[in-house]
Chain A
Amino acid sequence: MAEQIAVEVTRFSPERDKTPSIQSFDVPLRKEWVVLDALNYIKDKVDGSLSFRWSCRMGVCGSCGMMVNGEPKLTCATFLTDYAPGPVRIEPLKNFPVMRDLIVEINDFLGKLSKVKPWIIRQKEKPVTEGEYLQTPEQLDTYKQFSMCINCLLCYAACPVYGLDPMFSGPAALALAQRYNMDSRDEGKEERMDILSQHDGIWGCTFVGECTQVCPKHVDPAGAIQQYKLTATQEWFKSFIMPKGAK
């Protein structure tokens, strides 16, 4: 018989259970299998009621983030063999309410994300006939790294500040705000400043840096936040020199 690995999975059904419990499954340990393959094996062959989110299985969609042995990981990019001989424990992302089994409720993040206005804001739109908003490769480089975010929320699961203070805007939302602030086509810095420079915005961050450690797309949210702290500090000093209404 092929080698097996014990996969311990969090089970929780809101109608049935008061608290989550752990269920263990034996899964074939194959060299080319990622943790997501193990979960799909369980769902297809053992227990079809196991619930989890996934889609692209190639690190693009950002939906299969879970805690693997206590660390936030994209399960499609985490190989089972790295956890051999096991057992390997799969839990829902930390710091979020669990809806069912491995699925978390992410509405809090979605609300925070839209608050920072992560889209290009123009004071006045150029008519289509005047063509595109052009950008040089250098201008693209200033924000490209932050644009790689796939909203997988591993950074929220890793962030101890978000764990302690749910009001904190959190790494991905702040990094995405900075992505648009740095975009040469954007004119929305002022609008975002009011939200970002509040205590629950960038100043909630105590620069633990775990977000950057766990980010599967190398977005470096911690870097984005520190960068923005410097901008906000400059604006703060400017507001003394040029008070009220002055730009």
Chain B
Amino acid sequence: MHKQRSNEPFVWLLFSAGGVVAALFIPIQLFLFGVAFPLGWLNGPSYDTVRGLVHGPIGRLYLLVLCTLPLFHWAHRFRYTLYDGLQIKHLNELVNTFCYGGAIVGTAIAAYLIWQIP
């Protein structure tokens, strides 16, 4: 006897993975490239090295993951914030479209921009 199971696992996995990226990789990325390298606390890689990394498929994929998974984390969390915070669970189709749709649009934009890196 298998009752209808929730489709929540899929979005939860994206939420979960996005949480890891947002909590672990983004702070490291921001600290290194936003603070430590520019201020000369650490010897950063040269411009050409970074450029080379970003050009390769792995570099691009890394950037894409860094930019997009946290969007799904946001979508899931914000969906429940809207549900419970505003008590609008009855508008779930609208809320889902807005949240996950927003994350998908964000993903498409990020993918396009990363693809366009010269």
Contacts and interface: CB of A to CB of B under 8 A. Distances in A.
Contacts of A77: none
A33 interface: no
Interface in A92-137: none
Interface string B1-23: 11111101110110010000000
Interface residues of A, number: 18
A237 B4 CA distance: 15
For chain A, what secondary structure do more than half of its interface residues adopt (helix, strand, loop), or is it mixed?
helix
B6 A198 contact: yes
B8 A203 contact: yes
Interface string A196-227: 01110101001000000000000000000000
A194 B3 contact: yes
B12 A161 contact: no
B84 interface: yes
A205 B69 CA distance: 21
Interface stretch (A13-21, A35-43, A61-69, A228-236): A228-236
A160 interface: yes
A229 B12 contact: yes
A1 interface: no
Contacts of B46: none
Q: Looking at A201, A206, A230, which has the most chain B CB atoms within 10 Å of its CB?
A: A206
Contacts of A203: 6, 8-9, 12
Interface residues of B, number: 16
Contacts of A237: 9
B80 interface: yes
A242 interface: no
A2 interface: no
Contact of B5 (A160, A161, A197, A230): A197
B78 to A, nearest CB: 11
Given A160-B84, A161-B84, A206-B80, A198 B3 contact: yes
Interface string B80-118: 100010010100000000000000000000000000000
B2 A194 contact: yes
B12 A233 contact: yes
A164 interface: yes
A197 B2 CA distance: 11
B6 A199 contact: yes
Contact of B9 (A160, A165, A194, A232): A232
7 contacts: A160-B84, A165-B89, A198-B5, A201-B6, A203-B12, A206-B80, A233-B10
Given A197-B9, A199-B6, 4 more contacts: A160-B84, A194-B2, A233-B9, A236-B9
Interface of A: 160-161, 164-165, 194, 197-199, 201, 203, 206, 229-230, 232-233, 236-237, 239
7 nearest interchain CB pairs?
Answer: A236-B9, A203-B8, A233-B9, A206-B80, A199-B6, A203-B6, A233-B13
